[in-house]
């Protein structure tokens, strides 16, 4: 009788492990399916922005700088890289950078 109970207990533990592994596999597949960086492109949004000529020239300078390092950037990639660089700044440095930007009166938001 003890042998039967032991086998029954082992069978329950095995089933619990199978369920646990199965759930872990399912969660891993779900995370992969819904991850924006795995196999799916993130949605894009078109935006109309107003830039002074000096800032527009800065974008061209960054494109030339990238080309001198043997990789190409388009305007969108330069802006996106700048956003990520701003995001990584501490609050005080971020404020200093933003304070030095001229406010444009005819901007479209």
pTM of the model: 0.56
**Shared-domain flag, residues 6 and 34:** yes
**Shared-domain flag, residues 58 and 33:** no
Residue range 82-103, pLDDT digits in tens: 999 999 999 999 999 999 888 7
Residue range 23-44, pLDDT digits in tens: 677 777 777 766 666 556 778 8
Residue 84: which domain range?
53-99
Q: What token pair was written down for 51?
A: 């830039």
Distances (CA, A) of 74 to 40, 46, 51, 60, 61: 21, 15, 16, 9, 11
Residue 107 confidence (pLDDT): 47
Among positive and negative, which fits the CA dihedral 48, 108, 36, 59?
A: positive
**Total domains present in the chain:** 2
**Shared-domain flag, residues 2 and 31:** yes
At 21, is the secondary structure helix, strand, or coil?
helix
- DSSP 8-state secondary structure symbol assigned to residue 100: T
pLDDT at 1 over 70: no
Residue 73 confidence (pLDDT): 92
């Amino acid at each position: 009788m003890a042998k039967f109970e032991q086998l029954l207990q082992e069978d329950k533990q095995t089933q619990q492990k199978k369920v646990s592994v199965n759930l872990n596999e399912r969660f891993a597949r779900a995370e992969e399916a819904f991850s924006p960086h795995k196999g799916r492109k993130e949605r894009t949004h078109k935006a109309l922005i107003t830039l002074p000529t000096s800032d527009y020239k800065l974008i061209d300078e960054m494109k030339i700088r990238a080309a001198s390092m043997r990789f190409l950037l388009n305007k969108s990639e330069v802006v996106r890289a700048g956003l990520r660089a701003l995001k990584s700044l501490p609050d005080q440095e971020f404020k200093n950078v933003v304070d030095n930007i001229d406010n444009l009166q005819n901007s479209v938001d």
